[in-house]
Chain A
Amino acid sequence: MTVTHERFEQGMTYAAYKEQMTRNRARLEENERTVELVASDLAFFHALPEALKVVVITEDWCGDAIANLPVLARLAEASGKLELRIFLRDQNLDLMDQYLKEGKYRSVPTIVFFSADLRQLGVWIERPAKITAQQSAELETLLSTAPELQGIDPNTSPALLPEAARNRVMRFYTEFQARTRVDANAEVVREVRALVEAGLARQEASHGA
């Protein structure tokens, strides 16, 4: 898995990406305003000896990208240690296909962290794992307790759910997202930091070996 300096520079800056967005820019910018960075996380990135290069593969129609890319952008702006280059997935399949989720899904956003000399440190995909797990667990509880959802297989497509059940699940999604938004933003930073820390440690170990 490699990205050359030339290929990296072909990506858009975050500002250029926003300029060419055809939808969801207002939501993206609203999400930027809600990001609260923790001082210790910011200090970690700020203390990096050199700026990391970050490839972001995304599309402006993706809800996870609209929610999570602003967190990365704010972290980049505040720390000055993340150099972002944004690539639109469908126009950059050569990049996308190097980072398929579970080896088969072209998921966005896919965010790849590199050292300054473009050695890969880690890959972050879609949304925080903790929030995904929390949502699944809460949904499972809801399915076993809500009267509208009794007897319904948790894997049922929303297209086959009875209307009352569908409405109940949608209400859950809406409420969950509102309730966990701050946590989710914090979790993005926490996961990204852990990824970078682990990648740098691996690099350090390989240098010492």
Chain B
Amino acid sequence: MELDAGRPPVKVRIVYCASCGYEPYTLDLAGALMRAFRYDIAAIEIIPWQDGAFDVAVNDDLVHSMYRDGGFPEHATVIDAVRAKLAA
């Protein structure tokens, strides 16, 4: 796969509650993104948080918030959001 130098970088930020045992969900999602996009994603940032959070942002768009949406996001939801950014 060739890198597209003209493509805007897409960054994913996963904020997870580190006192809630959300590590497996976090790593599963990060792995799914790595497998889906390989070089086509600029960065996956994983941030430990508190207070029951599991929030995912793609660039500056909040794709999932546990507080707002409840539960964990489907991988496909985040992958589709990244694809949409890449296609923009």
Contact = CB atoms under 8 A, between A and B. Distances in A.
A23 to B, nearest CB: 6
Nearest to B64: A159
Chain A interface extent, by class? 20 to 34
Given A166-B47, A170-B50, A159 B19 contact: no
A70 to B, nearest CB: 14
Chain A interface mostly: helix
A59 B21 CA distance: 9
B57 A157 contact: yes
B17 interface: yes
B51 interface: yes
Contacts of A61: 20-22
A158 B45 CA distance: 12
Given A157-B62, A158-B15, A159-B15, A63 B55 contact: no
A23 B19 CA distance: 11
Given A170-B49, A173-B51, A66 B57 contact: no
A158 B55 contact: yes
Interface residues of B, number: 23
B21 A60 contact: yes
Contacts of A105: 70
Interface string B13-36: 111010111100000000000000
Interface in B59-83: 60, 62, 65, 67-68, 70
B52 to A, nearest CB: 8
B62 A158 contact: no
A24 interface: yes
Interface string A96-126: 0000000011000000000000000000000
B21 A23 contact: yes
A173 B19 CA distance: 12
Given A63-B19, A63-B20, A66-B19, A159 B55 contact: yes
Interface of B: 13-15, 17, 19-22, 47, 49-53, 55-57, 60, 62, 65, 67-68, 70
Given A157-B65, A170-B49, 4 more contacts: A24-B21, A63-B20, A160-B60, A170-B50
